[in-house]
Structure 1
Amino acid sequence: MDLRQMEYLVALADEQHFTRAAAVCQVSQSGLSAAIRSLEDELGTPLFTRTTRRVDPTDAGLALLPFARGALAQAAAGRDAVIRATHALSGRLRVGAEQCLGVVDVPPLLERFHRRYPLVDIHFTQAGSHDLVAQTRRGDLDVAFVATTDHLAIANSVELGRRSVVLLTPSDHALAARTSIEWAELRDREFIDFRPSWAMRSLNDAACTAASVTRRVRCTVDDIHTLLDLIHRGLGIALVPQHIAAKPQAAGLTSIQLPPESTPQWVVSAITATHAEASATRLLEILDADHSPAQDDGPVTTAP
């Protein structure tokens, strides 16, 4: 067993999908699959059950998972200790992020940065992507993690990953028996969605307009868990990224695919201010190092 295999194991358990896990690890899908098979051969037991729709850890996989996470955490802590001992950095870091981006988990990233650079004063803001873009443009934030491609041309932007959007309904909804749906079938239905400052709202509005779908947004929220709770209670349906439909709080809801040729893409990027603090570069270096591609695994595959 090696750290790379542990990284692939954790990513596959979290994403429950080979293509998405490969995108998270920035390796080819075949490289990730081969590494998992090699680990299973070494241990003499399957670690995952594979179906056409998802991948789930077996009992053996679940038993190994906490040790894999621990090994990765220990390795990261070791690297951080070396950098902390050899590189002094002070000043401040102003970071913003939208909630539940899926592609990047910001709190652990900030924790790692703080361990490496304890003298840097960190300020964190959570807001909708459009507000974060505006704050970064003004220089109020050094770096922001956003889920919008609007107005990014004037910002330093690096795409981190993307997810397809799906329709999420209560289990007893008239559409719940469907596995896929056409846009016309959503016309005049009642929706739950986010406030306009959220990138998801503008993405949904644009997709519905392009498909000539009129809809009634019955409930407007500022929190993903509230959105899921309202769907559970039968107050509407929602268009959300795949990773939101996979959250534990979405268990019991029905995820329905949209037409492949017109499915919106949730695109997550890191943007930096024109005159950002030097600490912003160090933060993105940690993110890049944690997801650096393997040397010989072939081209990176993108998430669907």
Structure 2
Amino acid sequence: MELQQLRYVVAVAETSNFTRAAEHCRVVQSALSHQIAALERELGARLFERTSRRVRLTPAGEAFLPAARECLEAADRARAEVAVAGGEIRGRLAVGAVPTVTAVDLPVVLRDYCLRHPRVRITLTSAGSGELADRVRQGGVDVAFLGLPPRAEPKGVRSRRLGGGELVAVVAADHHLTEGEADLRSLADEPFVDFRTGHAGRAQSDEAFAAAGVRREVPFEVSSAEFMVDLVRQGLGVGMLPAAYAPRFPDLRVIRLRDAPTRVEHLIWGDRSSPAATAFLELLRADHTESG
């Protein structure tokens, strides 16, 4: 059993396609297929079911995949530790972030990290807080930035609070609501554009409206802040955004709320941090201390 064979198995499992997996691994498909077939003979079990329309893991493949990932991660950590011993940080760093993160200037942090550690391969994933927390727990993402309701805490990961802030209501420039201050009750009759039910961003608003005893209608559910803003611009409803994030859209009218929903941003990471992830956490800790 070779590490390259494990990489091929993981690539096919993640793409559900031998051709795309071969492209990802930068090998010809015949070589990838041959190596997987050799591994299956060694294991005495088929790892994939192949049809003309799809590829999926067999029960044996489902059992094999987590161990294959752990082996590859261990090999990567071993290489990285050797590099650290020689005074160099290298390897892979997978970062995740909600699109509305404001507690840190993430593009600047990533730039500074790249300048300090040019041999580290960085990837960035933008997703909701729940999905990112799952990916960190599963090891697919090393560190992530979440936005959660005040009483919520990340579970199954290590975490640090970065700061909190209020949400504001945003409406189209020609909306009948006037700019300034309001309370949630005054918005009760307005249609809303908000994240889908179950999304951490939605929970922040739902909890605040429930605490105020206000029922609201959310006819437009979205999966990203950018889509929310697009719909708000068309006058389709009221949106809710972090106060520090809303100024990115100067064409929208901002209404500050006296009983505003709040959220807390968290930095999370797994129990076993690679040298690349540890260096990222140290950079963030230094920057946050200096800014504080």
Name the TM-score class by shorter chain. Answer: 0.5 to 0.7
Alignment-mate amino acid for residue 125 of structure 2:
T
Corresponding residue of 2:69: none
Partner of residue 169, structure 2: 167
- 1:99-122 CA-to-partner distances (Å, cap 9, x unmatched) read 131222323322322222222232
Aligned to 1:290: 287
Q: Establish whether residue 254 from structure 1 lines up as the match of residue 256 from structure 2.
A: no
Q: How many residues align?
A: 206
Rounded to whole Å, the distance in 2 between the matches of 1:182 and 1:110 is 38
Structural mapping, 1:9-28, within 5 Å: none
SS at match of 1:229: helix
Aligned position for 1:110: 110
Measured in 1, the distance between the counterparts of 2:170 and 2:254 equals: 5
Q: What is the CA deviation profile of residues 187-231 of structure 1, one whole-angstrom value per residue up to 9, with x for unaligned ones?
A: 242001123464321211221222222222222223323322221
Hey, what's the Cα distance between the residues in 2 that align with 1:258 and 1:189? 15
CA shift in 2, pair 1:181/1:222, >3 Å: same
Contact 1:103 1:161 in 2 (8 A): yes
Using the alignment, how far apart are the partners of 2:102 and 2:281 within structure 1?
A: 17
- Flag the structure with more relative contact order, 1 or 2, with Cα contacts below 8 A and sequence separation at least 6: 1
User: What residue identity is the alignment partner of 1:87?
Assistant: G
Q: Identity, % of aligned pairs?
A: 33
Q: Is contact 2:164–2:262 with CA below 8 Å preserved after alignment? A: yes
Counterpart secondary structure, 2:267:
strand
What is the SS of the residue equivalent to 2:208?
helix
- 1:181 lines up with 2:182 in the alignment: yes
1:122 maps onto 2:122 in alignment: yes
Distance (Å, rounded) in 1 between the aligned partners of 2:112 and 2:197:
32
Give the counterpart letter for 1:95 in structure 2. Answer: V
Q: Could you tell me how far apart the structure 2 residues matched to 1:257 and 1:129 are?
A: 24
Alignment match, 1:132: 132
Provide, for residues 11-57 of structure 1, a one-character-per-residue CA deviation record: whole Å limited to 9, x for no partner. Answer: xxxxxxxxxxxxxxxxxxxxxxxxxxxxxxxxxxxxxxxxxxxxxxx
Give matches, 1:36-185, under 5 Å: 87-148=87-148, 150-177=152-179, 179-185=180-186
Q: TM-score, normalised by structure 2?
A: 0.64
Worse-superposed segment, 189-198 or 96-105: 189-198
- SS at structure 1 position matched to 2:266: strand
Q: How far apart are 1:124 and its partner, in Å? A: 2.1
| CA distance in 2 between partners of 1:211 and 1:292 (Å) | 36
- Contact kept, 8 Å, 1:170 with 1:176, in 2: the verdict is no
Structure with greater Cα Rg = 2
Partner of 2:65: none
One-letter identity of the residue aligned with 2:243: Q
Q: Which amino acid aligns with 1:125?
A: T
Stretches of structure 2 lacking an aligned partner (at least 5 in a row): 1-83
Distance in 2 separating the partners of 1:198 and 1:137: 18
Letter paired with 2:159: S
Residue 134 (structure 1) shift: 1.6
Gaps of 5+ in 1: 1-83, 295-299
